[in-house]
Structure 1
């Protein structure tokens, strides 16, 4: 059995002693320190553990979930630096190392940096690199239009936000299609809007179209109930006021109102919208 550092594994408990639980790794056993053993765990139980190298370069297991795993691109905080490199907090006892050669212009303690987590071929250790472009490519795409994807806000351009898609590709969210505050390093869900002939990808935040409307229905109905069944908003309301109050774009707001009206859940008045009492 070959265990990969930086990933989760399902392993059975072989034995338990004062040091902790030893998990079946096909050899002498992989140590899960005692403080990480689940309550009432016993020999034979299968545990999901994260495997990584300890401070002495030995493979070790933990039930603690890290902030990111092997292959991820994540926004992590620097907790210390040395002449050799920087160490990032990724949620485990041993911090994640970034060699100086993999930094752009030096990292500072307390700063957050977007890095790629990968395996160093020479040492076999899990490390990180701030130079993430070699890990990204739109040459061969693994996504399609209308697909829901994971996004990480990477940087800004003249047109909008460049986002990393599923840790693999680069896409663009246009400024005029963003109706929430975004910061570099934010992670969120998005939808592949358009794939251009040159494989450039346009992305929208969240879900699009009818699916998004369904998700916003409950929000509007709850707000109506909280305000005695009436709100001074309608399809002619100012887009900025709509976003500030409802947290959604004017387009989504109008589509949602239309659906609620057709379902006889709301009615329009001269000054706003009113909840229809079903009782």
Structure 2
């Protein structure tokens, strides 16, 4: 069935007490249950639906959309774990099943994972696959160092945070360069730090060079506009600076230097204040 796993515009063929039967492109019909009908539909009307299989593996259409379509990634929470696999929340009444053989690692209920929507050609149904690396694009020559892009955080490791870039590429934010809380599923703005030989991308949260200090200086100014004074200075501990501003001590010193030269702040023995 070509419509499986996709958003389709299908015509209403007929109505029954159970709902509306929609015409498939290559013949046959699929049921749109009554609960998804507004009550104003007529035969011949075109309705936009997502097609998948119900709990009895029968094709069914719904008007709400999942977090990802066929051949796309999404970060999903594991709702239930069984000896056969895991059931993932993807925004539809029937959870998406990830077979045990398709797990990159054992899943834990309540945790979030990067999952690819795939078609099981043996059963003709949609399944999830968390062995994501086989689907990623390794050729990252289209990216340039310093380029800004969007990223979705999908895994935390000892080294840092793995991120999905533009739905097809893998990037890494190093922990020692992250000065803000990040959680699995967060979608954030990042900058390309380096293109690695293995096709993966090293990322950073702030732009390179002088722009970095401008952004840090702007953040300090915004805080000072509210608090007027910050008990931070050259001798402050890195932990205190990170707690109050979410940045490294080096970044803080560079930023207040720029603000001081611009006569935006005054530097006191016990902190900084807005001029």
Q: Does TM-score exceed 0.5, indicating one fold?
A: yes
Counterpart-to-counterpart distance in 2, 1:209 and 1:37? 55
Q: What's the C-alpha RMSD, in Å, of the aligned pairs?
A: 4.2
Shift of 1:178: 1.6
Shift of 1:131: 2.2
CA contact (8 A) 2:77 2:110 kept: no
Asked if residue 174 in structure 1 is aligned to residue 164 in structure 2, the reply is no
CA contact (8 A) 1:87 1:98 kept: yes
CA contact (8 A) 2:67 2:74 kept: no
Gaps of 5+ in 2: none
CA contact (8 A) 2:86 2:100 kept: yes
Q: Counterpart in 2 of 1:135?
A: 135
Shift of 1:94: 0.6
Under a length normalisation based on structure 2, what TM-score does the superposition of the two structures give? 0.71
Q: Counterpart in 2 of 1:268?
A: 266
Q: Counterpart in 1 of 2:244?
A: 245
Under a length normalisation based on structure 1, what TM-score does the superposition of the two structures give? 0.70
Gaps of 5+ in 1: none
SS at match of 2:93: coil
Task: State how many pairs are aligned.
Answer: 268
Distance change >3 Å, CA 15–CA 218, structure 1 → 2 = farther
CA contact (8 A) 1:243 1:249 kept: yes
Shift of 1:90: 1.9
CA contact (8 A) 1:154 1:163 kept: yes
Task: Output one character per residue of 1:172-227: Cα deviation in whole Å (capped at 9) or x when no partner.
Answer: 32232121344566554422111135544211136556666676677544533432
Distance change >3 Å, CA 46–CA 109, structure 1 → 2 = same
Asked if residue 150 in structure 1 is aligned to residue 151 in structure 2, the reply is yes
Shift of 1:245: 1.0
Counterpart-to-counterpart distance in 2, 1:254 and 1:127? 51
Shift of 1:91: 2.3
Q: Counterpart in 2 of 1:115?
A: 115
Distance change >3 Å, CA 31–CA 220, structure 1 → 2 = farther
